[in-house]
Amino acid sequence: MPAQDLPITSYALMGLLTFGDELTGYELKQRADNTLRFYWQSPAMSQVYSELARLADEGLLHRRGQGRGTTYTLTARGRRELESWMDDTAAGFPIFKHPQALRLMIGHLSDPGRLTKMLESYLEDVARARADLLEVRESLRGADAAGQPFRYPSLVADWGLAHFESEKAIAEQVIDRLREDETVETVTPPTGDEG
């Protein structure tokens, strides 16, 4: 199966199995929730099980046991596939899917005060996510130096922490600008229904 025929979620799940352990679908879902959610969509439990079945059927994962106790490990073929994807597939550019930015774009349908409250609430979410990620990052200390097993996950965690700092700074700047708008009367754009 060529690299481009697998969804990125398959590579993400295989990547989570590269740390030398054997995991059940439930354990893999927990690992995904604790890591992927900071920079990639963590798959639903049903998606984890369907991807694991597909990858095992393709010989990319080794399946051991039955039922809830079934565990999975990466096969040599699965590792080669993952390495090929890493080395030969363009990384791509992230799609900016930001609910607050979308709402802000059509902010003329609301008012600056409500938009400010939305962003203040978002800042609370960012602070919680940053605290969660900081906890993950701290758990990697001691095994995160060059050549150690959690070197690369720690780099991703540091990137995520910097991202959250950037999000905080951007949202705070937008809030400052919205507060300026609270004193200015806005003009509602035409809807096209006039006339």
Q: Are residues 130 and 159 in the same domain?
A: yes
Report the side by side order of strands in the sheet with 61-64.
23-24, 71-74, 61-64
Residue 172 — left, alpha, or beta (φ > 0 → left; ψ -120 to 50 → alpha)?
A: alpha
Give the single-character DSSP code of 188. P
The reply to whether 193 falls in a domain is: no
Q: Are residues 84 and 105 in the same domain?
A: no
The reply to whether 194 falls in a domain is: no
Full domain range(s) for residue 143: 99-181
- As for how many domains the chain has, the answer is 2
- Residue 1: the pLDDT is 44
Q: Provide the greatest CA pair distance for the chain.
A: 71
The reply to whether 120 falls in a domain is: yes
Q: What's phi and psi for 61, nearest 5 deg?
A: -125, 150
Provide block-wise average pLDDT over 10 residues at a time, the chain (195 residues).
72 93 95 89 93 96 93 96 93 88 93 95 97 96 93 96 97 95 67 63
The reply to whether 192 falls in a domain is: no
The reply to whether 57 falls in a domain is: yes
CATH number at residue 57: 1.10.10.10
The reply to whether 28 falls in a domain is: yes
- Domain end among 40, 63, 88: 88
- Residue 194: the pLDDT is 62
Contact 118, 100 (CB under 8 A): yes
Q: Any idea which residue has 């490990």 for tokens? A: 73
Query: What is the Cα–Cα distance from 51 to 11, expressed in whole angstroms?
Result: 10
Handedness of CA 128, 142, 156, 17 (dihedral sign): negative
- Residue 3: the pLDDT is 47
